[in-house]
Amino acid sequence: MKLSSDKGKLMSYDLEAAVLERYHAHFDAAQYNAIRELLDSNLYIRDDRRLIDGMNALQDTCLEVCGHPDFDGAWQRLAVFCGVNALSIHTVDAMRDFLRRFAAEDPRIDDFEATAKALLLAYRGLDDLKTATSHANGIHSWRGRVAYELLAAVDYLTQAAIHLLMHGDDAYIHEKLQSGLRRITGALYEAIHHSDHPALYNFKSTYFPSERDA
């Protein structure tokens, strides 16, 4: 048993050594420091703890794509950091290009870029969406009321999408989806009651998947 344990430790040591060798062989200090400067400018506050957290998250993702077994999911955590801290698209692109130094074709790098940009743009759109919803709420017509309900639904569904991308709490996602569906239902009630063509707003045949479809 001890021999097997020692062999496992040796294999683990050899793997980590190979990962670190690959990391150092492809590391570019100028590119790394340029990202640090971009991140610093995005956060607006010099020597911010978030700067350290962001650079650590980037380094963890580099090690993940190099094959280190202890950094699984680092790309997703880096993407969430970018979204939550409203980094620029340019900074995300710089991080993506840096990661490609270590594994040019790794699909996790594509997932990092797509997740980070989806989060950034979704967060960016929420304020305008809330303002649009507020304006629609002031329209004195059934069309205005339907638009208000639909915009409110989009707000809830966007929040659900954000938390899905963040690997958030399923109960919270359920709550936002439920609220969004209720708003859509309210919009359809308004349209069926007041529209000259109520049949066009009748979606009673729509099927929603259940646990039986799992």
> What does the pLDDT average to over 186-200?
97
Q: Is 111 left (phi over 0), alpha (psi -120 to 50) or beta?
A: alpha
Over residues 198-209, the pLDDT tens digits come to: 999 999 999 999
The pTM is what? 0.88
Could you tell me which residues come within 8 angstroms of residue 167 by beta carbon, excluding any fewer than 6 positions away?
Answer: 76, 80
Question: What is the pLDDT at residue 159?
Answer: 97
Q: Is the pLDDT of residue 5 over 70?
A: no
Task: Answer for the pair 39, 91: CB distance below 8 angstroms, yes or no.
Answer: yes
CA dist 178 and 171 (Å) reads: 10
Q: According to the model, what pLDDT value does residue 44 have?
A: 77
pLDDT band at 15, cuts 50/70/90?
A: confident
Whose tokens are 């950034």? That residue is 120
What is residue 3's predicted lDDT score, i.e. its pLDDT? 42
* Residue 14 confidence class, pLDDT cut points 50, 70, 90: confident
More confident residue, 37 or 10: 37
Tens of pLDDT along 35-90?
999 999 999 766 688 999 999 999 999 999 999 989 999 999 999 999 999 999 99
Q: What is the rounded CA–CA span in Å between residue 114 and residue 129?
A: 22
Residue 146 in contact with residue 191, Cβ under 8 Å? Answer: yes
Residue 112, pLDDT > 90, answer yes
Which of residues 12 and 183 earns the better pLDDT score?
Answer: 183
pLDDT value of position 22 = 93
Q: Is the dihedral of CA 122, 124, 127, 128 positive or negative?
A: negative
pLDDT at 45: 67
- Give me the long-range contacts of 40-43 (CB less than 8 A, separation at least 24): 42/85, 42/86, 42/87, 42/88, 42/91, 43/85
| DSSP secondary structure string for all residues of 117-177 | HHHHHHHHHHHHHHHHHHHHTT--SHHHHHHHHHHHHHHHHHHHHHHHHTT--HHHHHHHH
Tokens of 157: 């569904």
pLDDT of residue 46: 65
pLDDT tens digits along 133-183: 999 999 999 999 999 999 999 999 999 999 999 999 999 999 999 999 999
Gyration radius of the chain's alpha carbons: 24
Contact by Cβ (8 Å): 66, 43 = no
